[in-house]
Amino acid sequence: MFDRTTWWQSILYYTLLILVAIAILFPVYYMFNISLKLPKDIYRTPSLLPVNATLKNYEDLVTEYDFLINLRNSLFVASSATFVSVVFSSMAAYSLVRLKYLYRDWIGRLILFTYLTPSGLLFIPLSVIVARLQLGNTLHGLIFVYLTFAAPLSTWMLMGYFKSIPIDLEEQAMVDGATRIQAFYMILLPLAAPGLVAVSVFTFTAAWNELLYALIFITSPDLQTVPVAISRLITGDVFRWGLIMAGAFLAALPVMILYYLAQRFVVQGLAAGAVKG
């Protein structure tokens, strides 16, 4: 591995990488290709290059289907859920890693266990609870559900991350007169920034992409999130492929960019969460 890479090794490596890239990009490209075509061309002249390429689908999405409202709703839901989830899970992770108290390990197990529950099981009971809390058909209800689903994994990853940070720094600060809480958010949290970014990215993506619960909890058109809006483009037995793919592309783009930019932290966060956890 640390031999000098010979030329034929290089050729092998890059050939493999290019093959992988094609396998990854082809579906994404095809989706983009379809999004540039009108219905008639999609069905009548299937092709790998867009025939009569047009931005009409994108234009219709924005003007006729109020897609920007859906994007706004998704953005609000995903970022709120992410923020609250990161706050809750970093508090919980700190508590579980740095503080000692009765039943701590059991609480840790409870949180992990949550993560492993089959979500199909919770469908009906959850809709009852959300309605009882007067959160049915509100974005807040969605935020609440998403943060609860995302926080256990975040907590576990952050626990791993916090464990990897030496306790000495915090102890030093406390000797210097800082309270525990100050030591937590002034010393530990900044050091754990990559981990925080990683769990934020995960939570944001999960909330941004979620379809099933959004479909059931949200009925008002002006509260629908992006996945719900896209699913409504399949009406009865008609798939409006051009619009669906345009919507899908717009939905996937922000997350893909987010991942691309934050990949270093994602990798670090995963490493700490899984390795040290």
Partner 1 sequence: MVRNESYKTPRFSLRQLDSLLGYVLVAPLVCCILLLVIYPFFFAIYISFTDRVIGSEGEFVGFANYLAIVQKPDFQASISNTIVLVGAVQSIKLFIGLGLAVLLNQNIRARFFWRGLILLPWAMPAFVAFITWKLLFAPQGGAFNYILINLDLVTTHVDFLSRDLAMPSVITASVWRGFPFWVISFLAAMQNIPRELYESAALDGANAWQRFLHITMPGIRHVVLVVILISTIWTTNSFEAVWLMTGGGPSNATMTFPVLAYYGLQSLRIGEAAAVSVSMLPVFAVLALIVAVNLQRED
Partner 2 sequence: MKRFTTTKLFFGVTLLLLGMLALTPALAQEKFVYWGGLIFSEAANNLFVERVEQWGEENNIDVEVVMINQNETVQTVSAAIEAGTMPDALDLGRDFMLLLSQQDQLVALNDLYAEIGEAHGGWLESAESLVTSEEFEDNIYGIPYATNGNVLYRRNDLLEPAGYAEAPETWEELGEMARAVNDPPNVYSMSFALSNVGDGNLTTTMLQSWGGRIADDDGVNCTIDSEETRAFLEWITTAYADGLFPPGATTWDGAGDNTAYQSGQAVFIANPGSVRNYLVENDPELAEATLFSALPAGPAMRISPVNTVVRSIPVTSEKQDLAADLIAYLADDEFIAEYYSSAIYGPALVSHQEAPIFAESAVHAGLLDLALNGTPGAFPDKTNAAFAEYQTNFLTPRMIQRIVIDSISIDDAIAETQEACQAIYDKYQ
15 backbone dihedrals φ, ψ, rounded to 5°: -60, -50
Which of 51, 178, 189, 191 touches partner 1 (CB under 8 A)?
Answer: 178
271 backbone dihedrals φ, ψ, rounded to 5°: -60, -50
d(C-alpha 220, C-alpha 213), whole Å: 14
Min CB(9)–partner 1 separation in Å: 8
Q: Does 176 bind partner 2 (CB under 8 A)?
A: no
Q: Does 54 bind partner 2 (CB under 8 A)?
A: no
d(C-alpha 73, C-alpha 223), whole Å: 6
Q: Does 231 bind partner 2 (CB under 8 A)?
A: yes
The footprint of partner 1 on this chain (CB under 8 A) covers a number of residues equal to 102
Min CB(221)–partner 2 separation in Å: 7
Count how many residues are written for the chain: 277
The item of partner 1, partner 2, none sharing an interface with residue 20, based on CB under 5 to 8 Å by kind, is partner 1
Is the CB of residue 41 less than 8 Å from the CB of residue 51? Answer: yes
C-alpha 3: how far from its chain's center?
Answer: 38
Which of 48, 103, 235, 260 touches partner 2 (CB under 8 A)?
Answer: 235
| x-or-dash string of contact with partner 1, 240-269, rule CB under 8 A | -x--xx--x--xx--xx-xxx--xx-xxx-
Q: Does 165 bind partner 2 (CB under 8 A)?
A: no
Min CB(31)–partner 2 separation in Å: 17
Q: What is the DSSP letter of 138?
A: S
d(C-alpha 261, C-alpha 259), whole Å: 5
Is the CB of residue 150 less than 8 Å from the CB of residue 77? Answer: no
Instruction: Pick the stretch among 51-59, 114-122, 130-138, 196-204 that binds partner 2 (CB under 8 A).
Output: 130-138
Q: Does 185 bind partner 1 (CB under 8 A)?
A: no
